[in-house]
Structure 1
Amino acid sequence: MNIQAFSMIGAAYLNPVATPELAAQMTGLNYVVWYIGHVFFDAKFMSQFSILFGAGILLMAQRCEATGRSPAGVHYRRLLGLLVFGLIHAYFFWSGDILVTYALCGAVLYPFWRCRNRVRLATAGCLFLMGSLIISLTGLSMPYWPESELISMKQEMWQPSTEMVDAEIEAYSGPWWNQFLDRARMTFEFQIVGIPMLLFWQVTALMLIGMTLLETGVLTGKLSKRLYAIITLLGFGVGLPLVIWGLHQNESHDWDMQYSILLGTQFNYFGSLLMAMGYIGFWGLILKSATGQKLGRLLAPVGRMALTNYLMQTLICTTIFYGHGFGYFMSIQRSGQALIVVAIWCFQIVFSHCWLQRHRFGPAESVWRVMTYGKPTR
């Protein structure tokens, strides 16, 4: 999903027809790539990763307690390290950073590692619904906003003018300092508005769900094939039609900002959680087969180096698209972007295997562990 945020103007991620040029490209293979990305990937894999991050918080707390370390000390040092990584990443490299969000959401979750699962799930449900309520009420209020505010929002986030598009292209096609000035502004606005209004509620809820799924054995492969199949069918059977219907509604409204920017996201908001559960059921199902276990062994090193690979994708993509590198910003259409994604996936699978044959942890993970424990650990 992030490839379009690296390679295109910011509005293109939210609105695929943000400019006449982008609208003209939404045909044929470009449309197919965008459609598949939105339906099967957008928010679904972020949801899975947030669920796994929450499970990781619980797992680390349990391990610390078993080895006599202070779970609270390790937890907060770990998240402080992640926050440092995120701030450097967001301001100096790419404004689409998610690490700051994870650090802030994870910071409020420590008390929940000892809670019962029903408390976690009840809290997760309230948080998830609160996120939807904030978005929905804000969207419903838009017809009553002053015209000047609507125009400003449209130009900033949804359908920028030709002059604004040209300015963004010039910034990211130019030297690093020009990029930094624009990126710092976008990052700051997102962190003070986007995180508290949009992501905090959703991501924190997903992390609590992750804790519950770990304790109930869903994430550790303890369920039967039948139960994983049921989770898969329910998740995709309900979530997939919901996401597709939401996409149809946005298209039927011609991607009008007053509908699509907030209200039009709600089908995917709920559908992504259901589809994430469907994916989790699917992974649990296939990993019980011999073929699935081979696939797991192929991909496991990438997961063990998740932070390194995430940051590496930024370095690779900003080099490809930004002015300090090859300068292909707004020059490669969505079908071409998909080829770059596959190439990066293949490279990172090979790189992760090669690195972990010689080292126990990825380079970013090693630094993170020093920040967490105060010294290298084995």
Structure 2
Amino acid sequence: MPVGRAERIVAIDVLRGFALLGILVANITLFDVDGFDAVEQSFEDLVIGSAGAPFMVLLLIFVLNKMMAVFSMLFGAGVLLVTERIEARGDSAFGVHYVRNVLLAGIGLAHSALWFGDVLLIYGLSALFLYPLRRLSARSLLVASAAVWLFAVCVGDPVAEYVVRAPAMMLVGMSLYRLGVINAGRDAAWYRMATRRSFAVGLPLCSVAWVFVEDQEDLALLVNNLGVPFMA
């Protein structure tokens, strides 16, 4: 839905650009591999015994899955932003929401035939289930997102986990939008405090994860993914 410059939320636009840049950096390492098992092996080979190992470790700790999580949160916030603006005019957002996201899913379906890492199909389908949840409180959205995320990291299948993580973080984004966090509604001191606390949990998890990458790859991915929401 086109909006004027005055209606745009600059903080969300900046975060979206930052997330897309991070996704591009992460995906550069994936363009030469095919399939989720190959992705995991590719990261393991790059981390262990590689001249670029220090860079790859930083990439894995700060970028892998984190930028996609940020983008998913922004997508969830966007669902609320668009529907609220439509409803503020006295119109129903139902038709606009479902038409937009069915089209997005269709584009994603075509793109998934070209590359296994497509997310548009996941986003479009996930959004179909977000609309009925738009009236939930911020706390209820966070509880729902935590339940979905824990399910995602515990399923043990990389494809299923890849699919389920996105709607979990979309719910987080909806909650943070309600709380005025994702749209720059808090002061700088609050964001510094939140960053310190989140990194205090997420950084140890995502750092320790790669200690296990050679001998216990599944454990490494599990621990890393537990830390992702705190690092996003």
TM-score category (smaller protein): 0.7 to 0.9
The residue number in structure 2 matching 1:176 is none
The residue number in structure 2 matching 1:113 is 134
Dislocated runs of 4+, deviation >6 Å = none
8 Å CA contact 2:101, 2:127 repeated in 1: yes
The residue type equivalent to 2:229 in the other structure is L
Once superposed, what is the RMSD of the aligned Cα atoms? 2.1
The residue number in structure 1 matching 2:104 is 82
1:1-378 superposed matches below 5 A: 1-10=26-35, 11-16=37-42, 22=45, 26-28=49-51, 30-91=52-113, 93-135=114-156, 194=159, 197-251=160-214, 253=215, 259-260=216-217, 262-276=218-232
The residue number in structure 2 matching 1:168 is none
- In 2, the alpha carbon distance for the partners of 1:120 and 1:25 equals 39
User: For the structure 1 residues 2 and 15, does the alpha-carbon distance in structure 2 shift closer, same or farther, using more than 3 Å as the test?
Assistant: same
SS in 2 for 1:6: coil
Q: Write out per-residue CA displacement over residues 50-71 of structure 1, whole angstroms, 9 at most, x where no aligned residue.
A: 0000000011110111123321
- In 1, the alpha carbon distance for the partners of 2:58 and 2:80 equals 33
Calculate the TM-score normalised by the size of structure 2: 0.81
8 Å CA contact 1:101, 1:199 repeated in 2: no
- In 1, the alpha carbon distance for the partners of 2:47 and 2:90 equals 61
Structure 2, unpaired ranges of 5+: 1-25
Q: Write out per-residue CA displacement over residues 76-98 of structure 1, whole angstroms, 9 at most, x where no aligned residue.
A: 1111111111111111x322111
- In 1, the alpha carbon distance for the partners of 2:43 and 2:230 equals 27
User: For the structure 1 residues 217 and 82, does the alpha-carbon distance in structure 2 shift closer, same or farther, using more than 3 Å as the test?
Assistant: same
> 1:24, CA displacement in angstroms?
10
SS in 1 for 2:211: helix
Calculate the TM-score normalised by the size of structure 1: 0.51
User: For the structure 1 residues 84 and 39, does the alpha-carbon distance in structure 2 shift closer, same or farther, using more than 3 Å as the test?
Assistant: same
User: For the structure 1 residues 90 and 120, does the alpha-carbon distance in structure 2 shift closer, same or farther, using more than 3 Å as the test?
Assistant: same
Structure with larger RCO (C-alpha < 8 A, sep 6+):
1
- In 1, the alpha carbon distance for the partners of 2:80 and 2:47 equals 48
- In 2, the alpha carbon distance for the partners of 1:17 and 1:115 equals 38
Q: Write out per-residue CA displacement over residues 83-137 of structure 1, whole angstroms, 9 at most, x where no aligned residue.
A: 111111111x3221111111111111111111112221121121112223322xx
SS in 1 for 2:42: coil
User: For the structure 1 residues 25 and 115, does the alpha-carbon distance in structure 2 shift closer, same or farther, using more than 3 Å as the test?
Assistant: closer
User: For the structure 1 residues 24 and 58, does the alpha-carbon distance in structure 2 shift closer, same or farther, using more than 3 Å as the test?
Assistant: closer
Q: Write out per-residue CA displacement over residues 228-275 of structure 1, whole angstroms, 9 at most, x where no aligned residue.
A: 001111122221111110101223x1xxxxx41x33311111111100
SS in 1 for 2:195: helix
8 Å CA contact 1:4, 1:12 repeated in 2: no
SS in 2 for 1:219: coil
The residue number in structure 1 matching 2:6 is none
SS in 2 for 1:7: coil
- In 2, the alpha carbon distance for the partners of 1:234 and 1:121 equals 17
Structure 1, unpaired ranges of 5+: 139-192, 254-258, 277-378
The residue type equivalent to 1:243 in the other structure is C
> 1:201, CA displacement in angstroms?
3.0
8 Å CA contact 2:46, 2:53 repeated in 1: no
> 1:23, CA displacement in angstroms?
6.6
> 1:25, CA displacement in angstroms?
8.2
- In 1, the alpha carbon distance for the partners of 2:47 and 2:229 equals 32
SS in 1 for 2:29: helix
- In 1, the alpha carbon distance for the partners of 2:221 and 2:73 equals 20
SS in 2 for 1:62: helix
The residue type equivalent to 2:178 in the other structure is E
Identity rate of aligned residues, in percent?
A: 32
